[in-house]
Amino acid sequence: MKKHSVVIVDDHLLFAQSLQGLVNAFDEFEVLYHVKNGSELIKKLLESENVPDIILLDINMPVMNGFETMEWIKENRPSIQVLALSMDDHEETIIKMLRLGAKGYLLKDIHPEIFYKALNEVISNGIYYSERVATTLLNSLHGNDEKEVANGKPLKDTELTFLKLACTEMTYKEIAQEMCLSPKTIDGYRESLFKHFKVKSRIGLVLYAIRNNLVNSK
């Protein structure tokens, strides 16, 4: 029986190496290779005709993160089953990744047996949702429509730009100059995002953005 091939994309070498050992311990799976980020993955995929069955994709990586990488895979190698792999259990991150086409979302603190189950499920069913991820998805649907819009709708480019700058020590006046807009327009963005995220102050906005990975916190 031919083993299902797995590729690991994770910048934490220790984790990647350990994970590779774990996967190889399963009879049905074997690791083709592992790479440190999306760029390296794409290079490997382009230069090799050996297409993996499954990609285990970390989200938080330097150089090219999981979201960008997922987009590329969806566009160029749609047949590969991608399982997102992250420590981040925030709703927005999970939803974003699944919308981009990931077939499952594994939290790094799951039990190895569940991990094994996930690999099998994604091969046989083309999808794997853990209970926790399914619950998260349900919760996001059960909220009122307002919240659904709030958490599901992607931010416009200008809003995201503003949000990133709001997560710095710049004043709104400086942000306005930076974005070549009137301070009043910036004030409009601010008010809009306050309502959108249900926060009461710029501090709340920054905390929300960081907690939900809308900006790089580090």
Partner DNA sequence: GAATGAATGGGGATTTTTCCCCTTTTCAAA
Partner DNA sequence: TTTGAAAAGGGGAAAAATCCCCATTCATTC
State the residues that interact with DNA by CB under 7 A: 156, 158, 171-173, 181-185, 187-188, 190-191, 194, 200-203
Return the one option of a second copy, DNA, none that residue 25 interacts with (CB less than 5 to 8 A, by type): a second copy
Strand partners, 85: 58, 106
Q: Count the site residues for a second copy by CB under 8 A.
A: 37
Q: d(Cα 142, Cα 94) in Å, to the nearest integer?
A: 16
Kindly write out the interface string for residues 111-130 of this chain, putting x where it contacts a second copy by CB under 8 A and - elsewhere: xx--x---------------
Query: Does 108 contact a second copy by CB under 8 A?
Result: yes
Return the one option of a second copy, DNA, none that residue 14 interacts with (CB less than 5 to 8 A, by type): a second copy
Return the one option of a second copy, DNA, none that residue 182 interacts with (CB less than 5 to 8 A, by type): DNA
CB contact at 8 A, 163 and 193:
yes
Of 74 and 161, CB closest to a second copy: 161
Of 156 and 211, CB closest to a second copy: 211
User: Closest by alpha carbon to 104, among 124, 137, 126?
Assistant: 126
Q: d(Cα 197, Cα 66) in Å, to the nearest integer?
A: 24
Of 32 and 166, CB closest to DNA: 166
Binding residue for a second copy, selected from 70, 83, 167, 175, defined by CB under 8 A: 167
Least distance to a second copy, CB of residue 212, Å: 10
End-to-end CA distance of the chain: 45
Query: Does 109 contact a second copy by CB under 8 A?
Result: yes
Residues 125-164 that bind a second copy (CB under 8 A): none
Q: d(Cα 23, Cα 174) in Å, to the nearest integer?
A: 51
- Complete DSSP assignment for 126-191: S-B--HHHHHHHHHHHHS-HHHHHHHHSPPPHHHHHHHHHHTSS--HHHHHHHHTS-HHHHHHHHH
